[in-house]
Structure 1
Amino acid sequence: MAAVATVATDDWSLWSTSARLVVTDPALLPEARRIADAVLERVELASSRFRPDSEILTKAPLFPVGALVSGTLAELMRLALASAAETDGDVDPTLANALGAIGYDHDIRLILDDGVPVRAIASPRPGWASVRLVGNRLTVPAHLGIDLGATAKAAAADQVAARIVAELGCGVLVSLGGDIATAGPA
């Protein structure tokens, strides 16, 4: 008779969506959640457009001349710029000002347009190609704002899963609003 795998799961609300953490060793769930919370806090502090103390907002005035940013924000920007290049700009991390102009300047739970979440927009001039990231120095033209919402959740899920398996050695699944990462033994 085959052994039945035992897992433990934790679900919570995060960033206007749902988060789920599954580990293959139930005794490690509290420590895995502590690791997840630490990684997610670091990502949010670096990249949230809705948190006034986030790095992406506090350093924004320096972006036109180039600002030294944390390793976390630099890595998130590298991933976002790579996604923009791979999609020929369909995923553009420089739409924050455009999103704000149509009313998406608060957490999505707080924004409605006649009862419907924010309208989709198309940008005739993608800005991602004008962003420069050299090491940890980020330069963004003044007319653009950074929004990492299209890529940061996926990157965060990957980081959480990798760190849990590295520190705890158990199998892990992380879902952040449907961005899913797995690592370790199944």
Structure 2
Amino acid sequence: MDWTELEEKCFEITYDTIKMLLLENKDEAFYAVSLYTDSSAMSASLSASSEGKLKSILVAEEDQSIECENYYRWAVSEWFYDGYNAGAFSKISKMLREDSSREINFAKFKNELIKTLSNVLIRIKRELPIELNSTVCFVSITDDDESEEIENSSAKLINDAPLSMAFILRFD
């Protein structure tokens, strides 16, 4: 895999997708944006959540516990804007699925993908400092025991210290 090429393509798609998301939802206060993959590292997608959409999800939820709120606040697959502009990421996902190096050393492949997605979000935060100032950005992985560790370590790399620390302490 040419990770530099993948990062560049993913950056362009992610940048355009976030700009579109913000433009189409000017009244939303987005608190989180995530690039995520699956446990097989065969896809990449963007997910985002806003305070307004979170409130609408919670109002419809029978369980009003803090645990339930934390679940919906931080489970990227439950977010209203999960898979936002998914079609734009299809070429990235195809590149990941078809790359032969994944079978040679899957652990290395998965780690490189997480590093690449983190780099993309670092660049995005740099390019959109005003728009994403109070938005925590992180990398996630669905259906994986390492997801919280990946989310926390990527959040530290991507965000400023106060934002990343608040994120890391999100379940305390």
Give the shorter-chain TM-score range: under 0.3
Q: TM-score, normalised by structure 1?
A: 0.25
Structure with greater strand share of residues = 1
Structure with greater helix share of residues = 2
Q: TM-score, normalised by structure 2?
A: 0.26
Q: Over alpha carbons, which structure has the higher Rg?
A: 1
